[in-house]
């Protein structure tokens, strides 16, 4: 079997941890597998580098940040290769460039365009275990890029796809994907199996186990992914293509995201092109808008538009909105940062009705007001006051019977 193993920052957080990783890699190799290793920077390292940069500049150029940050994974890759070699297995470290991770030139948030495998694949063919620095790539014009937070997951999945690997193992500091955050709901249960689409919703909704883009990539190329802990031998959660079993389960998990801000434009003239103008400008600043709600105006003259963005982008989004609003003659712009998004996710929703009604009813029963609603085929999201986040997660998790003591709509053992 060809296995791609990705180890996150805590998994390579110290020399002792790196040596434990080396043993795990050696074990997989001993069992007759070909292994490719992807590593993140040692935990804390990336933040340390960001801290240094922030002492020099409030807004350092992306290109320089990329050269700076790409050091962290080079270090951990070299050390991990040494540790594997020390156990008597041939290993070589490779930078993103040397592994042929070609990206576009959007610094600090680059997109992978192709993977040639470069020197890493040559080494693999000779029986060497390549240890590839995650999170980084190179443009066609030879500039160093990084893939954004969590980018090492993407490196792993993309390399697995490029090599046609049988499995991509994402090693982290948790045992797998849970029905919700176990810190909030102690009865939260580890899922044995989950579909790409469900994982995508969970990841993008704030369950930080697996980076969103890596799940999209895994889905696109059908890469089977396992999320598991590098600190024990528990089996983890398999993220795969949807199967019939999964449809039996209406709701797989409850996610939340406190990292959102809501911007409302009050009394916009209700004429064609207004929303387009606003959201064009916001998209032009590379800000991703999540939920958009536009109320129908009763008199046909003015309307309110509300939308949510990540908190990190809220200041910028507000400024852009205010500029546009002045042009359009809207009344005012309001922003709220004390909001949260709570969502229930499950592929079974496609064939089962009543999930949204049950969600709204459950929140209402606990006097939690819903500010915005957004739905997709497999999820329902509500924007609520952030102070109710934990309560909402707990009551929804319970209402959909997701805990260890399962209700009717709960997932069966082994998922």
User: Given the complex with a second copy, which of 85 and 111 has the nearer CB atom?
Assistant: 85
92 lies in the site for a second copy, by CB under 8 A: yes
Nearer to a second copy, 74 or 311 (CB): 74
Q: Which stretch binds a second copy (CB under 8 A): 87-95, 159-167, 227-235, 341-349?
A: 87-95
CA distances from 202 to 21, 34, 184, 285 (A): 27, 31, 16, 26
At 51, list the tokens.
């801290």
Phi, psi of 212, rounded to the nearest 5 degrees:
-55, -50
Contacts of a second copy in 218-237 (CB under 8 A): none
Report d(CA 95, CA 329) in Å as an integer.
52
Whether 70 contacts 85, CB under 8 Å? no
Task: Identify the three-state secondary structure at position 360.
Answer: helix
Q: Is 68 in the site for a second copy (CB under 8 A)?
A: yes
Q: How far is the CB of 83 from a second copy (least distance, A)?
A: 5
Q: How far apart are CA 233 and CA 6, in angstroms?
A: 15
Among positions 3, 26, 38, 81, the unique one binding a second copy when judged by CB under 8 A: 81
Q: What are phi and psi of 265, to 5 degrees?
A: -100, 115
DSSP letter for 287, please.
P
Pairing of strands 225-229, 167-172: parallel
298 interacts with a second copy by CB under 8 A: no
Please state, in angstroms and as integers, the Cα–Cα distance from residue 184 to each residue in 68, 254, 406, following that order: 36, 11, 18
Nearer to a second copy, 131 or 165 (CB): 131
Q: Residue 66 or residue 153: which is nearer to a second copy going by CB?
A: 66
Query: From the list 20, 62, 71, 360, which residue makes contact with a second copy (rule: CB under 8 A)?
Result: 71
Minimum CB distance to a second copy smaller for 6 or for 17: 17
User: How many residues touch a second copy (CB under 8 A)?
Assistant: 40
Q: What is the 3-state secondary structure (H, E, C) of 317-355?
A: HHHHHHHHHHHHCCCEEEEEEEEEEEEEECHHHHCCCCH
Residue 164 DSSP class: T
Q: Report the site for a second copy in 327-386 (rule: CB under 8 A).
A: none
Angle at 254 between CA 205 and CA 393, to 5 degrees: 105
- Nearest-angstrom CA–CA distance, 308 and 311: 9
Least distance between a second copy and beta carbon 55 (Å): 5
Long-range contacts of the stretch 102-106 (C-beta < 8 A, 24+)? 102/137, 102/138, 102/139, 102/140, 103/137, 103/138, 103/139, 103/145, 103/147, 104/139, 104/145, 105/139, 105/141, 105/143, 105/145, 106/62, 106/145
Q: SS3 of 176, please? A: coil
Name which position in 33, 62, 74, 109 contacts a second copy (CB under 8 A).
Answer: 74
* Least distance between a second copy and beta carbon 2 (Å): 23
Contact 135, 93 (CB under 8 A): no
Rounded Cα distance between 92 and 126, Å, is: 11
**x/- string (CB under 8 A) for a second copy, residues 131-170?**
----------xxxx--------------------------
- Least CB distance from residue 114 to a second copy, whole Å? 17
In the complex with a second copy, which residue's Cβ is closer, 141 or 351? 141
Least distance to a second copy, CB of residue 33, Å:
22
Considering only residues 97 through 126, tell me which ones interact with a second copy, judged by CB under 8 A.
97-98, 118-119
Least distance (Å) between residue 93 CB and a second copy: 5
Residue 365 burial (CB count, 10 A): 10
> Which positions from 38 to 67 touch a second copy by CB under 8 A, shown as an x/- string?
-----------x--xx-xxx--xx-xxx-x
Contacts with a second copy, 7-36, as mask; x by CB under 8 A: --------x--xx-----------------
Query: For a second copy, which is the closer residue by CB, 36 or 291?
Result: 36
Nearer to a second copy, 85 or 352 (CB): 85
- Contact range with a second copy by CB under 8 A, out of 91-99, 199-207, 256-264, 311-319: 91-99
Binding site for a second copy (CB under 8 A): 15, 18-19, 49, 52-53, 55-57, 60-61, 63-65, 67-68, 70-72, 74-75, 77-79, 81-83, 85-86, 92-93, 95, 97-98, 118-119, 141-144
């Amino acid at each position: 079997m060809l296995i791609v193993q990705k180890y996150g920052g805590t998994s390579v957080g110290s020399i002792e941890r790196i040596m434990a990783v080396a043993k795990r890699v050696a074990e997989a190799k001993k069992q007759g597998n070909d292994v490719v290793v992807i590593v993140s920077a040692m935990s804390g390292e990336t933040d340390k580098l960001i801290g240094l940069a922030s002492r020099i500049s409030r807004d350092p150029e992306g290109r320089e940040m990329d050269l700076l940050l790409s050091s962290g994974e080079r270090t951990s890759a070299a050390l991990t290769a040494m540790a594997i070699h020390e156990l008597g297995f041939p290993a070589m470290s490779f930078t993103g460039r040397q592994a042929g991770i070609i990206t576009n030139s959007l610094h600090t948030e680059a997109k992978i365009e192709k993977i040639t495998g470069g020197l890493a694949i040559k080494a693999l063919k000779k029986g060497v275990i390549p240890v590839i620095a995650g999170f980084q790539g190179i443009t066609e014009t030879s500039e160093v890029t990084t893939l954004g937070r969590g980018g090492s997951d993407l490196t792993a999945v993309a390399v697995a796809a490029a090599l046609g690997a049988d499995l991509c193992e994402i090693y982290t500091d948790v045992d797998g994907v849970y029905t919700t955050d176990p810190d909030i709901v102690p009865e939260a249960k580890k899922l044995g199996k989950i579909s790409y689409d469900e994982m995508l919703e969970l990841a993008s909704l704030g369950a930080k186990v697996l980076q969103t883009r890596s799940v999209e990539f895994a889905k696109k190329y059908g890469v089977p992914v396992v999320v598991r802990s590098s600190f024990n031998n528990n089996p983890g959660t398999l993220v795969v293509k949807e199967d019939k079993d999964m449809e039996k389960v209406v709701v797989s998990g409850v996610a939340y995201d406190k990292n959102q801000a809501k911007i409302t434009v009050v009394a916009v003239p209700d004429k064609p092109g207004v929303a387009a103008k606003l959201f064009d400008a916001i998209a032009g600043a590379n800000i991703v808008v999540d939920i958009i709600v536009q109320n129908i105006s009763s008199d046909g003259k003015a309307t309110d538009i509300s939308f949510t963005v990540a908190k990190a982008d809220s200041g910028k989004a507000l400024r852009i909105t205010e500029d546009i609003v002045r042009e359009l003659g809207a009344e005012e712009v309001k922003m709220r940062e004390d909001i949260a998004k709570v969502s229930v996710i499950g592929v079974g929703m496609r064939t089962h009705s009543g999930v949204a009604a049950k969600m709204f009813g459950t929140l209402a029963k606990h006097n939690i007001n819903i500010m915005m609603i957004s739905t997709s085929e497999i999820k329902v999201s509500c924007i609520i006051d952030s102070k109710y986040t934990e309560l909402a997660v707990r009551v929804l998790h319970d209402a959909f019977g997701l805990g260890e003591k399962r209700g009717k709509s709960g997932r069966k053992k082994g998922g």
